[in-house]
A = this chain, B = another copy of it.
Amino acid sequence: MASRVSVSAPPKEGEVTTGPIYRSHKHYNEVAFSNDFGEATLRVPVRRIDLTDGTHFDAYDTSGIYTEESPALNLKEGLAKVRDSWPSAPAVAASVDAPADAPKVRTQLAWARAGIVTPEMAYIAAREGVDVEVVREEVAAGRAVIPANHKHPEIEPMIIGKRFATKVNANIGNSAVTSSISEEVEKMVWATRWGADTIMDLSTGKDIHETREWILRNSPVPVGTVPIYQALEKVKGDPAKLTWEIYRDTIIEQCEQGVDYMTVHAGVLLRYVPLAANRVTGIVSRGGSIMAAWCLAHHKESFLYTRFAELCDILAQYDVTFSLGDGLRPGSIADANDEAQLAELRTLGELTKIAKSRGCQVMIEGPGHVPMHKIAINVKWEEEWCEEAPFYTLGPLATDIAPGYDHITSAIGAAIIAQAGTAMLCYVTPKEHLGLPNRDDVKVGVITYKISAHAADLAKGLPCAQERDDALSKARFEFRWHDQFALALDPDTALDYHDETLPAEPAKTAHFCSMCGPKFCSMRISKDVQDYAKENGLDSVEAIEAGMAEKSQEFTDAGGRVYLPIASE
């Protein structure tokens, strides 16, 4: 694999997309860090958007070195292991209520509880624009997680919690049916280019280990997996043949590789399976259906549930974060918020307590298909039953009737559930229910979910969220087209669409919108109205009500035209 500078067209086999985003450049803010265990200079990246007036706007950046002007890439070696040079604290007690058999641990949760500020916390504070104590407190309370396996030193640390910017996960991964390793690596680079905060490798086909290795070594963002998929491959696809030993070995293999968080469907209990028997769409989680099959076949609780404490101690060794899976999530509007779903969520609450007592970071997976009026209550239940562990939800899709557009059906649900407090959204692409997403689908999925996440951040009144909206709208009103494109979530598409109607470069500085032509451009007229009102002291209700008729006369005398056509028709 080699690097390549390009944006629109897919790269050649074995290459990945590199180079800056439109009118932006990578900038690193240097943060001096020190604690009792050492010091480091943290280089925190931003996408610096260069505006035409000489100023700039700094945007949160997930894209790693790939968007540098000339990144020093070596895909075979992987990214630099930056975190290895940061000071690391020693093992501490897992928690004040840790069971007697729980070993001391080196996790962000345990350190936060012990009052230790880690380099990861400082890095995140700079990235999010908040005080580092906010980061430490939220992690200590278990309301936020920092997925960062000690064996994954390449990542740029990030946080998942409702007090921070809402995050977006992009699923990639090959299957028995389609796609190759290099395609998956490019999907990772491509997804993070457009703003994916984490990626999940959901590969189920051959070469699972190798695919994951390439992704991990080259990913600037945390990587999640669902280890049961690989375990199932090891028993040739027969759920009943799964054992604790096979699963445990798979977990250790993935921990050693550097996976940052793992979906574990430990809440699918035997007695919940009948609850799903009369659903319209049964069990739609792959992991959930596998575990349900196992429970039925053996007629007992799964090893994920019975061996959960052991599992915790393995994950804690690496500081791998639990993503407690919703194996019984609803797969249709009809099944939303039913007893199967809620029973499992209550069990995830119990498991959360166990994991945290052993020092593990935990987030909780949720939704699926849920109608709008049943969405917000999901967050309330999750917070109540799971001690406000960060909620990580798929969509939810707000209707079942639009296959081909499920990025949109779910963007509606995702925005609503994020506003209600979900910390990370798992994207849905246009191919959901129909096929595997290609590179274009991945981009559409990511951008769509960045919209939902940002809309929710605006609604939550997150500091800084509105600054970008204001900057873009100001550029729009001032006909600074290039700035409008540059500040957009997807400048390339905005530019392409503008080109379709008015391709010439002068149109990029034209004082009218391409929809209406110069004469009917409301922005144009409005700006003239505004300028005129200000110049003539008509920008207050008092001035207007004082009845300044002479001003009106002047305006008429001056031509009375509030627009100046600048293009022939």
Contacts and interface: CB of A to CB of B under 8 A. Distances in A.
Interface of A: 175-178, 204-205, 229, 232, 237-241, 270-271, 273-278, 280-286, 288-290, 292-293, 296-300, 331-334, 369, 371-373, 398-405, 407-409, 411-412, 415-416, 419, 430-436, 438, 447-448, 450-452, 454-456, 458-461, 466, 468-470, 472-474, 476-477, 484-485, 487-490, 493-494, 496-498, 500-502, 513-523, 525-530, 532-534, 538-541, 543-545, 547-549, 551-552, 555-556, 560-563, 565, 569
Given A399-B455, A455-B409, A333 B466 contact: yes
A276 to B, nearest CB: 7
A373 B476 contact: no
Nearest to A474: B280
Q: Which 9 A-B pairs have the closest CB atoms?
A: A435-B501, A299-B552, A176-B517, A332-B473, A282-B526, A372-B459, A404-B493, A240-B560, A289-B525
A488 B401 contact: yes
A543 B452 contact: no
Nearest to A412: B415
A405 B490 CA distance: 9
A285 B474 contact: no
Nearest to A275: B541
A539 B278 contact: yes
Given A485-B403, A541-B275, A552-B296, A501 B436 contact: yes
21 contacts: A175-B515, A178-B501, A204-B519, A237-B519, A238-B561, A274-B533, A282-B527, A296-B532, A296-B533, A296-B552, A332-B469, A333-B469, A373-B458, A401-B487, A402-B447, A402-B450, A403-B494, A412-B415, A416-B416, A431-B497, A434-B494
Contact of A522 (B176, B178, B283): B283
A96 B532 CA distance: 46
Given A277-B538, A405-B490, 16 more contacts: A204-B519, A204-B520, A237-B565, A240-B562, A277-B533, A282-B523, A286-B520, A288-B522, A289-B526, A297-B555, A297-B562, A332-B473, A373-B461, A400-B470, A404-B497, A435-B500
B333 A458 contact: yes
Contact of A419 (B238, B372, B470, B565): B372
Contacts of A560: 238, 240-241, 297
A478 to B, nearest CB: 10
A179 to B, nearest CB: 10
Contact of A433 (B271, B285, B476): B476
Number of copies: 2
Contacts of A448: 405, 408
B516 A175 contact: yes
Contacts of A466: 333-334, 371
A461 B539 CA distance: 47
B469 A399 contact: yes
A48 B275 CA distance: 34
Contacts of A543: 274
A435 B372 contact: no
B283 A529 contact: yes
A208 to B, nearest CB: 12
Contact of A435 (B399, B403, B454, B515): B515
Nearest to A553: B299
Nearest to A409: B451
Contacts of A232: 519-520
B296 A538 contact: yes
Contacts of A454: 399, 401
Contacts of A275: 541
Interface centre among A447, A523, A527 (most CB of B within 10 A): A523
A100 to B, nearest CB: 32
A499 to B, nearest CB: 8
Contacts of A494: 403-404, 434
A324 to B, nearest CB: 18
B515 A470 contact: no
Contacts of A498: 434-435
A296 to B, nearest CB: 6
A397 to B, nearest CB: 9
A130 to B, nearest CB: 21
Nearest to A369: B473
Contacts of A490: 402, 404-405
Contact of A523 (B281, B530, B549): B281
B282 A529 contact: yes
Contacts of A515: 175, 431-436
A238 B528 CA distance: 13
Q: Of A204, A513, A527, A547, which is in contact with the most chain B CB atoms at under 10 Å from its CB?
A: A513
A372 B297 contact: no
Contact of A273 (B296, B407, B502, B538): B538
A522 B286 contact: yes
A398 B467 CA distance: 14
B501 A240 contact: no
Contact of A372 (B204, B238, B415): B415
A182 B424 CA distance: 47
B282 A239 contact: no
A163 B450 CA distance: 33
A161 to B, nearest CB: 20
